[in-house]
């Protein structure tokens, strides 16, 4: 059971709730601050204070005073009118993550909501309710207004949920699970929909997969290094100590571990070859910065998922309420754009390595890794697929955050486009998984041709595991099935588990 208090959530917590159905409850330590914040909102209403979103309209309509007796109607109208997303629904794991993140932000006690509202959000998670939230429509300021409005609708018994792939009236779903629909009070509708939780949810899940993917990229690269009879000399620790970027040294050390005791490498130790191509020699200098970028992005998200991101914020202890801009998604938009660029670079170097593996003019291997003297095409077209995915990534990696379209009659005159950056990063990640899958297949085939010489300590583990499920390409068969199977193995992370059993921790 995960207990949230607004301040101690981790990326690992988010992943466990989103993907492993871990249950969540509100920590007792959060109650006092939540109550104080809510009590101050009641005081503001009693005194008929003019406060944005509580006794005024929102956005360009903030100059319109709303009397306290209409505060509930204002909140209801907000979530109805703002729920305007379109397109395919967000994946269930993304929705679970965004619910958790919104509840955690409200638990900080700066939002002026009731404890019951936060606990109802957690009931959606704990009873596996899947709100229907179309994916497209957020510009990333004021946060993810529209998709969060779709979530807010569910709490009031409006909107829809997905049940076995079908859209079902939310009120019916709530009754089935014995959850009482809420009537949102003053400030609560606005508190629910002002925030960055959709882009943050995407980012947390992408990051989890990206850290695993950069490990698989190293395994694929080390296997390719052996298949192409490259040298590990470029991984020498002294080279990387002379340019002490953390990620660069980390990658070089990992590749040294993976190819340790390689009979393949030992067989050509005294050959005439002076140095390898950049794709092999510069893996630490390329994958290292990718790793450093992932850690930078992680640091941004660790702050964001424990932040109050709605507006206005209630400072009950100071008897103050302040309109600000914590809902603006720029920190995440930049980080997600950078994440997409870094992931794209994994595929860029991987595809060039695949080309080197299949090219008989440079590989020293059979043409296109095929047997049969022209009868079989081997991995010829798999390289085309990798090239197509890399080309698509070049478009997707264009920063979404450099764009801004003013909204709300110019009141919201700069927006982050963070949700678009998140979607692009998610698409890039999927493409890169497939590119690495193709490299792993090609490198495994290349190592086959080096037998009876054995691969290194780590690369041999990966090679043996792959060959348990995907046989040697002796004659042409349906290629896409092998790629899909290899991509599934990558997503399962089982090769990383097998390496750990051998004492190799990437």
pLDDT of residue 235: 96
- pLDDT greater than 80 at residue 170: yes
pLDDT of residue 337: 97
Digit-coded pLDDT (tens) for 420-459: 999 999 999 999 999 999 999 999 999 999 999 999 999 9
pTM: 0.95
pLDDT of residue 335: 98
| SS3 call for 411 | coil
Residue 467: how many CA atoms within 13 Å on its side-chain side?
A: 15
Residue 416: name the closest of 146, 199, 186 by CA: 199
Query: Where do runs of H (alpha helix) occur along 26-108?
Result: 31-46, 71-82, 92-106
Residue 159: name the closest of 103, 93, 76 by CA: 76
Query: Where do runs of H (alpha helix) occur along 127-160?
Result: 145-155
Query: Looking at 42-46, 56-60, 84-88, 194-198, which range is the least confident one?
Result: 56-60
When pLDDT is averaged across residues 236-242 and rounded to a whole number, the result is 97
Q: If pLDDT is split at 50, 70 and 90, which confidence band does 485 have?
A: very high
When pLDDT is averaged across residues 66-72 and rounded to a whole number, the result is 81
Contact 217, 346 (CB under 8 A): yes
CA–CA distances in Å: residue 335 to residues 100, 112, 201, 339, 447:
21, 29, 13, 6, 38
For the CA atoms of 141, 116, 181, 101, what is the dihedral angle to 10 degrees?
Answer: 40
- pLDDT greater than 80 at residue 409: no
pLDDT of residue 183: 95
Q: What is the mean pLDDT of the chain?
A: 94
Q: If pLDDT is split at 50, 70 and 90, which confidence band does 58 have?
A: confident
Tell which wins on pLDDT, 160 or 272. 160
Burial class (CB in 10 A: 0-12, 13-18, 19+), 485: middle
Cα–Cα distance between 337 and 424 in angstroms, integer?
8
For 372, list phi and psi in degrees, rounded to 5: 110, 10
Cα–Cα distance between 352 and 255 in angstroms, integer?
18
Do the domains 2-195 and 202-307+347-501 sit in the same CATH topology, yes or no?
A: no
When pLDDT is averaged across residues 151-162 and rounded to a whole number, the result is 97
CATH fold, domain 2-195, is Fumarase C; Chain B, domain 1 (1.10.275)
pLDDT of residue 269: 80
Cα–Cα distance between 65 and 50 in angstroms, integer?
7
325 CA to centre of own chain: 24
Residue 490: name the closest of 445, 435, 443, 447 by CA: 435
Cα–Cα distance between 310 and 142 in angstroms, integer?
8
Count Cβ neighbours within 10 Å for each residue of 201-226 and write b for 16 or more, e otherwise: bbbbbbbbbbebbbbbbbbbbbbbbb
Whole-number CA gyration radius for the chain: 26
Q: Where do the structural domains in the chain lie, given as residue ranges?
A: 2-195, 202-307+347-501
When pLDDT is averaged across residues 295-305 and rounded to a whole number, the result is 98
Query: Where do runs of H (alpha helix) occur along 259-358?
Result: 263-266, 278-281, 283-304, 330-358
pLDDT of residue 50: 85
Digit-coded pLDDT (tens) for 110-132: 999 999 999 999 999 999 999 99
CATH fold, domain 202-307+347-501, is Fumarase C; Chain A, domain 2 (1.20.200)
pLDDT of residue 338: 98
Q: If pLDDT is split at 50, 70 and 90, which confidence band does 60 have?
A: low
Query: Considering the chain, what percentage of its residues have pLDDT values greater than 90?
Result: 84
Q: If pLDDT is split at 50, 70 and 90, which confidence band does 69 have?
A: confident
Cα–Cα distance between 396 and 100 in angstroms, integer?
28
Query: Where do runs of H (alpha helix) occur along 329-456?
Result: 330-358, 360-363, 380-396, 418-448
When pLDDT is averaged across residues 360-364 and rounded to a whole number, the result is 93
Provide the annotated active-site residues. Answer: 52
Contact 436, 443 (CB under 8 A): no
């Amino acid at each position: 059971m995960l207990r949230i208090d607004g301040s101690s959530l981790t990326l690992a917590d988010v992943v466990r709730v989103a993907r492993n159905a871990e249950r969540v409850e509100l920590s007792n330590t959060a109650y006092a601050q939540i109550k104080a914040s809510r009590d101050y909102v009641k005081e503001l209403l009693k005194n008929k204070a003019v406060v944005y979103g509580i006794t005024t309209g929102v956005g360009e309509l903030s100059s319109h005073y709303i009397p306290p007796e209409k505060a509930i109607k204002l909140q209801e109208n907000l979530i109805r009118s703002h729920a305007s997303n379109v397109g395919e629904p967000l994946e269930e794991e993304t929705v679970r993550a965004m619910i958790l993140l919104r509840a955690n932000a409200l638990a900080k006690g700066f939002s002026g909501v009731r404890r019951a509202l936060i606990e109802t959000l957690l009931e959606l998670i704990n009873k596996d309710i899947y709100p229907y939230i179309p994916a497209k429509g957020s510009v990333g300021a004021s946060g993810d207004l529209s998709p969060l409005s779709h979530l807010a609708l569910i709490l009031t018994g409006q909107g829809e949920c997905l049940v076995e792939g079908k859209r079902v009236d939310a009120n019916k779903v709530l009754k089935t699970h014995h959850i009482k629909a809420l009537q949102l009070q003053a400030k609560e509708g606005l508190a629910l929909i002002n925030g960055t939780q959709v882009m943050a949810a995407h980012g947390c899940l992408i990051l989890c997969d990206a850290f695993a993917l950069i490990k698989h990229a190293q395994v694929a690269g080390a296997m390719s290094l052996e298949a192409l009879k490259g040298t590990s000399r470029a991984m020498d620790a002294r080279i990387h100590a002379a340019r002490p970027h953390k990620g660069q040294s980390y990658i070089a050390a990992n590749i040294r571990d993976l190819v340790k005791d390689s009979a393949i490498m030992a067989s050509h130790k005294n050959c005439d070859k002076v140095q390898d191509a950049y794709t092999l020699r510069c893996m630490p200098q390329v994958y290292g910065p990718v790793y450093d970028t992932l850690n930078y992005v992680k640091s941004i998200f660790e702050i964001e998922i424990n932040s109050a991101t709605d507006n206005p914020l209630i400072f009950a202890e100071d008897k103050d309420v302040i309109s600000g801009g914590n809902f603006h998604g720029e920190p995440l938009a930049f980080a997600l754009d950078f994440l997409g660029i870094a992931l794209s670079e994994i595929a860029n170097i991987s595809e060039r390595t695949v080309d080197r593996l299949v090219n008989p003019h440079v590989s020293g291997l059979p043409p296109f890794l095929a047997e049969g003297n022209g009868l079989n095409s081997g991995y010829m077209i798999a390289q085309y697929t990798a090239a197509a995915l890399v080309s698509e990534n070049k478009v997707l990696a264009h920063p979404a955050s450099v764009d801004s379209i003013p909204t709300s009659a110019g009141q919201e005159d700069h927006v982050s486009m963070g949700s678009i950056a998140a979607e692009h990063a998610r698409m890039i990640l999927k493409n890169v998984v497939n590119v690495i899958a193709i490299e792993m297949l090609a490198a495994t085939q290349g190592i086959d041709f080096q037998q009876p010489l054995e691969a290194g300590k780590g690369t041999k583990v990966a090679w043996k595991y792959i060959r348990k499920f995907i046989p040697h390409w002796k004659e042409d068969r349906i290629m896409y099935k092998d790629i899909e199977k290899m991509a599934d193995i990558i997503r399962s992370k089982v090769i990383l588990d097998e390496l750990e059993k051998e004492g190799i921790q990437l």
